[in-house]
Every structure is written in C-alpha cells, then in structure tokens.
Structure 1
Amino acid sequence: MPGYELMLGNRCNELYSMNVRLKQFIHRRGLILSIEERIAAVGVRLTPTERRIAQTVLGDPTLLAFGTVSDLASRAKTSHPSIVRFATKLGFGGYTDLQGWVRKDVAHQLVTPGQRIRRPEGLGTDVGADIEQSIHSSLAVLDQTSVARLAEPLISAEHLWILTGETSRAGAHVLFSGLSMIRDGVHLVDQHNFGRDLSGATDRDAAVVFDFARYRRSCVLAARSLIELDVRLVAITDSPLSPLAAITDRWCELDVPAVGPFDSSLPAVLASELLVLEVAEALGSSVRDRIDRLERLWEQTHTFHDSLLK
C-alpha cells in the first residue's frame, strides 16, 4: 500500500505542477475552475485517502455528475465522511454542493439551440466577453507542450483522417485545408461515409476527431472503431465528461461559448491553426518545397484573379 499511496501522491503533485500556471491565470481572469484544476490547486494538501479519491474522480469524472456518495466511496474504497471532507477541501460545503456544481456545468453544456432561442432573457449575452474569455482559456490549454503532444501523431502518420460533428465542423475544415497543403494523405471524412472511408485505416495512420456537447453518436462510434484498428487518435472536445476524452490520452478541453442559439466555432478554429503551425514547423524543408509546387500550380491554372492580370 505505501507504494500505491506514493504513486497517488506523485500523480496529484504532477497535476499540481502542470496546472499551477493555468490556475493562476484563471484566478486573474475570474474564470471558473474545472474539477481537475480544483484538485490540482489543493493536490499537495490532500491526505493519502483524499488522493485516492482524487485519482478515482480523475479516472471517471462521470461519478461526480451521476453517482451517489456511496458509489464514489465504494469505488475509492473509503468512507462517506472521507468523501465529504474531500469535497470540503475542494471548496464546497459538502458532497451535495460538489455534485450540484458538476451537474450545473454538464447541464450548461447540454442546453440545446431550441432552448437557448426560447430563453426569457433572450440571446443578449455579452458575446464579446464570452469569446474573449474562451480564446484566453483555449490558449492557456493549448500551450506549446500540449500542442506538440497533440500534433506528434499527425506528423508521421501515413494517412490522416479528420472526423467532426456539426458544431465543430469549421475547425475540422481549417485543419483539413491547412494540413492538406503541407502533407499528403489528409482526408476529411463525411459522417455518412465513415464506414466506407475508414475501412482502409491502419495502425500506420492517425485521426483527429472534433466533437462538442451534445456529442454525435456517429463520431464517437467511429472514433472507437479507429482505436480498435490501432489508429492513433487525437480528440478536440470540450469536457472531461466527453466520450472522446474517455478513449484517448491525447485530447484537449476547449471552452466553447454560445453565440446566439449556437456554439462558437472560434475555439476549434484556433486549435486547428495551432496544430497546422506545429506540423508545418516539424516537417521543415519538405513543407517549403510543397508550398512552392502548390504556388506554381495555382499560377498555371490561374486560380486567383490577380494571376489573370500578369
């Protein structure tokens, strides 16, 4: 058991080290901490039992949203009072307050366009402030280390498959456009062609799946199928409760605000642009040669209006 407790302690300390700068940024901006960030903020002060609870929560965040205190205590092999003390240390009045906070966040994500358009207060939110907050939050998540880790499979893959739900489509198109101009074998797969197109995927390939709440069943099923084929999977999503976050360790959580009745595309576009930049820099001189060939073809085919004036 001492070795197990030491492993849990190291895990919490690692989370603290990785997230301390993000935590400070969030406090300065007045943003709401995620459950991971709350755990990271108190990681060094957790008892061995509380560290075991934290590990259980991080391994399956749905326990907090949908499980009882008994469920969590049983999974973490501890007592009800220990669960309550853990919730208190995270800054809540007790387990009920903690679960209510998590459920409120989930409910916010699951609000439909139809519900948004019928809100009594209308759609007059401070869109500019929401988007600015989202961009700052996304940039904090997508630091250089995180982007490099997400991009690594996209550099060496023989084929690269891009899948997306409806609300994340803009980000997928930006990634496809950028990557297809700097490397071969990039495919943007339509949902109705998932089965046909992905039947040729192999363990030499990689895939990027974009999807945000409410999560398209077809995207999730296709992603699981790719995992079974040993395709390296990168997920661009919006919550640790996302089914995509549960099947790959290469994923990022974007803050996706509502703009009117629909979700903003800007965070997904930002993530895509950073990934394209990272891949381009990693490929080096081959990218320059490919872009030179592309420019010559554009000129030869009079792709742009100004080429007709030469």
Structure 2
Amino acid sequence: MSSASARLLRLFEGHRLTPTQRRIAHCMVRRATDAPFLSSVELAELAGVSQPSVTRFAVALGYDGYPALRRHLRELPAIEGTGGAEGGPQAFPAATAAGNAYQQAVRAEIDNLRHLAELLADPAPVERAARVLAGSPTLPVLGLRAAAAQARGFAYFAAKVHPDVRLLDEGGSMLADRLDAAVRAGSEALLCFALPRHPREVPPALEQARAAGLRIVMVADSAFAPVAHPDDLLLPAAVGTGLAFDTACAPMLLARVLLEAMCDGLPEAQARLEEFDARAAERGLFL
C-alpha cells in the first residue's frame, strides 16, 4: 500500500459509512494518487455511483461538500507532488531505487504489516470480534475464490479449539443450504474473509446470514469493503497489489491474531489442544 493510500485510509476510518459510501472510499483508496484531481462526476463514474452520492459521502466525512474534501486531499503531504495531470515531481522518488519488482512487492507487504501493527495498538476490536466468534455454538467461516485460502486456514486451526467449525469455501446453490444448516445447528455468528476481487455470491450469503440473526465478523482488505454492512464487526488488513495476483500476508496474520484472541474466550481451548497433541503423537501424524 502506498503512503497516499494509507493517508486516505486514516482519513476515512472511524466514520460510519453506508455501503455506497464505502464503495466510493474504496475507489479513492485504489486511485489514491489521482483522487485529489478527480471531479465529483469522474469519481462517481469510477465508483459506479451517482454524483449526489459523492456529495453525500463528502458531507458524511464532515466536509461542506466534495470540493472541500478535494481541497483537503490536495493539501495532504503524502499526496502533494504526485504530478497528477501536470506531471510534476514524484512524491515517492525512493520507489525507483527500492530494488526490482519482486523486492518492491515484499516491501509493500512489510508496509501492510506495519499498518496492521498500528491498528492492533488498540486490541479492543479484535478482542470484541473474538468473543463473538468464540460464543457461537456453531461457527461458519465464509471465504470464496481468492479468500478461500484464508478461510480454509482459519477453519483448520479454529477446529482444534472450537467444537463446531464449518468451512464455507464454495459458492453456488449449495452455499445457502449450508448456511441454513449452520443456523439450525445453533450458529450465532459468521466469520467472513472478504478479499478482492469480491465474488458476487458473497453479498446474498451475508444478507441471508444477517436475516437469520447472525452477527458478522469480517476480515477485509479495507475498512470500506463493498460487501460490508455498518453493523458488521470489520477488521481491516490490506492486500498487496504489486504482483500479477494479490498477496494477503496481512489478512493471514490478522486471522491468526483473531484465533489467538478466540482461544482466550474458549475455556476448553488449552485442554483441546493438549488432547489433539496426545492423539497426534499416538497416531504418528507428524515427523
């Protein structure tokens, strides 16, 4: 994530935004260097929303209107001098001296992890989310396509300490059935990994879960994930975009942190781990 994107995230965080407004914010983060130079009409077209929605978005952030927001963006030190339409000096001259593309991708992930560490300075959101997940008798874990690997990894380890974890990593007509089964089994919460590109099956699955009364905990690539709802417990962790395919080191680490916090809310967690270790030794599971 660039410094410009990080600045925008810090500007937007802490505001209760509607799904449409999150979509606008997400678009601006993705186009951070261009954002200060976009008109409200251009931003609306890029985000796929109406021009009045852009105005309401700026007002929701505390500005008199979009022109005031754009003026503020142009004053941010991390965005000044990016050139925009004028082709001025670059704000990040070190980027060209940061090594080859592979090294730059690694360094970008390190920046994502540093940003995650800053967010975790306040552990309350993770601890609150962990209590919700630990208290659910049945715990469905949703992650489709690119997010499936994150969901699968979480479910694998969570099943060692939680009595009933159900992995939902395939879309299609069976997804609704499996959600219904989890609700019948007593589920009170659902963990969703929402990473780009966001599959179109995710929103209806989350709507079904919310309609059934499930509390949604979401690990997403930004605080403005387009599939999120204002009532969700959303934990952001940026993905790397420097390679042909996104990298998800920060979401993976955040998932492990969430697991650690979950263990504190499960009184039998340590006993379950010790029991697993004993059985694994008996069966010779590991070298």
Decide: shared fold, TM above 0.5.
yes
Q: Given the alignment, which residue of 135, 156, 181 partners 1:200?
A: 181
The 1:56/1:32 distance shift into structure 2, 3 A limit, reads closer
In the alignment, structure 1 residue 280 sits paired with structure 2 residue 263? yes
Report runs of 4+ in structure 1 exceeding 4 Å deviation: 54-59, 67-78, 122-125
Cα distance in 2 for partners of 1:276, 1:128 equals 25
Contact 2:143 2:149 in 1 (8 A): no
The 1:207/1:70 distance shift into structure 2, 3 A limit, reads closer
Cα distance in 2 for partners of 1:298, 1:163 equals 28
Cα distance in 2 for partners of 1:39, 1:211 equals 19
Cα distance in 1 for partners of 2:154, 2:215 equals 17
Kindly state the Cα deviation for residue 55 of structure 1 after the two structures are TM-superposed: 6.8
Cα distance in 2 for partners of 1:171, 1:248 equals 23
Aligned to 2:279: 297
Alignment of 1:54-203 (within 5 A): 60-62=21-23, 65-66=43-44, 67=49, 70-73=52-55, 82-84=64-66, 86-88=68-70, 90-92=72-74, 126-142=104-120, 143-192=122-171, 193-202=174-183
Alignment of 1:210-249 (within 5 A): 210-246=193-229, 248-249=231-232
Cα distance in 2 for partners of 1:56, 1:209 equals 19
In the alignment, structure 1 residue 32 sits paired with structure 2 residue 14? no
Partner amino acid for 1:217?
R
The 1:58/1:260 distance shift into structure 2, 3 A limit, reads closer
Instruction: Answer with 296-305 or 155-164: which moved more.
Output: 296-305
Cα distance in 1 for partners of 2:226, 2:51 equals 23
Aligned to 1:114: none
Cα distance in 2 for partners of 1:154, 1:218 equals 22
Contact 1:212 1:237 in 2 (8 A): yes
Alpha-carbon deviations, 1:39-94, whole Å to 9, x = none? 67xx9xxxxxxxxxx8778982345642565445578899xx9315531563338x
Determine helix, strand or coil for the equivalent of 1:191.
Answer: coil
Cα distance in 2 for partners of 1:210, 1:58 equals 17
Cα distance in 2 for partners of 1:124, 1:77 equals 40
Partner amino acid for 1:168?
A
The 1:267/1:84 distance shift into structure 2, 3 A limit, reads closer
Partner amino acid for 1:133?
D
Instruction: Answer with 31-40 or 199-208: which moved more.
Output: 31-40
Kindly state the Cα deviation for residue 267 of structure 1 after the two structures are TM-superposed: 1.6
Equivalent pairs, count: 236
Determine helix, strand or coil for the equivalent of 1:126.
Answer: helix
Which structure shows the bigger proportion of residues in helix conformation? 1
The 1:37/1:180 distance shift into structure 2, 3 A limit, reads same
Partner amino acid for 2:285?
T
Cα distance in 2 for partners of 1:176, 1:304 equals 20
Aligned to 1:16: none
Contact 2:175 2:205 in 1 (8 A): yes
The 1:247/1:146 distance shift into structure 2, 3 A limit, reads closer
Q: Once the two structures are aligned, what percentage of the paired residues are identical?
A: 16
Structure 1 unaligned regions, length at least 5? 1-25, 44-53, 98-121, 306-310
Kindly state the Cα deviation for residue 204 of structure 1 after the two structures are TM-superposed: 4.2
Partner amino acid for 1:295?
D
Work out which structure has the larger RCO, using CA pairs closer than 8 Å and 6 or more positions apart in sequence.
2
Kindly state the Cα deviation for residue 257 of structure 1 after the two structures are TM-superposed: 0.6
When normalised by structure 1's length, the TM-score is 0.65
Kindly state the Cα deviation for residue 228 of structure 1 after the two structures are TM-superposed: 0.7
Cα distance in 2 for partners of 1:195, 1:55 equals 29
Determine helix, strand or coil for the equivalent of 1:263.
Answer: coil
Alpha-carbon deviations, 1:175-222, whole Å to 9, x = none? 112211011011112314312211123374211111212201112221
Contact 1:239 1:245 in 2 (8 A): no
- The structure with the largest alpha-carbon Rg is 1
